[in-house]
Amino acid sequence: MKAATKSYLDKAVLLSVEEQERLLSRMTGKLPKRLQKDKLSREEALAIQLELEDEQLQEWRATMAALKAKTAKTQEKASKKVAKAKVATDKASKPKASNAKTKSAATAKKPTTPSAKPKSRITRRTTATPKKVANVSQSPESK
C-alpha cells in the first residue's frame, strides 16, 4: 500500500465534509479496512484515495486519447474509401468524348471489301452446283 504524499495530504485537508464523505464512499480494497482498524488516519486515507483516483483519471485519459486516435484513423480510412468509390462511379458513369470519337472513327476506317471478309462455309456451298436428289421414298398411297 502506498503512503500518502504531502501534496495529496494538503489537498485532503482542504476538502469540505461533504467532499470527504464522497471520497470515503468511493474507497475500495484494503484502504477502508485499514481506516477502520485505525492503521491510517482519516486524512491519510483521503490523501491515498485522491492519489489513486488521479492515477486512474490519467490512465482513463490516455485510453480515451488512444480510442479517439483510432476512431479518427478509421473514419479517415472510411472517408478515403468513399471518395475512391465515388470517383470510380463518376468515371464509370461519364463516357469520355474522346473515346466515343475514336471508336466511331475506328469503325469507319475498317475496310468493307469482299476480299477482306473471310468466306463462310455456307457461302461456299451455295456456289457449288446442287445435287439432284431422286424422290425414292414415295409411299404407294401417294401414287
Residues in the chain: 143
Mean pLDDT of 78-86: 85
Q: What is the mean pLDDT of the chain?
A: 79
Lowest mean pLDDT among 71-75, 78-82, 105-109: 105-109
Q: Could you report the per-residue pLDDT of 98-129, keeping only the tens digit for each? A: 555 555 555 555 555 555 556 555 655 555 56
Of 31, 12, 10, whose CA–CA distance to 20 is shortest?
A: 12
pLDDT for the residue 118: 60
pLDDT for the residue 44: 92
pLDDT for the residue 89: 79
Q: Burial, 1: exposed, middle or buried (Cβ in 10 Å; 0-12, 13-18, 19+)? A: exposed
Residue with the larger pLDDT of the pair 12 and 127: 12
pLDDT for the residue 116: 58
- CA 21/CA 45 separation, integer angstroms: 12
In which residue are the cell numbers 471508336 written? 103
C-alpha cell at 68: 479517439
- Per the CB < 8 A criterion, the answer to whether 45 and 24 are in contact is yes
How far the first Cα of the chain sits from its last, in Å, is 125
Task: State yes or no: pLDDT of 70 exceeds 80.
Answer: yes
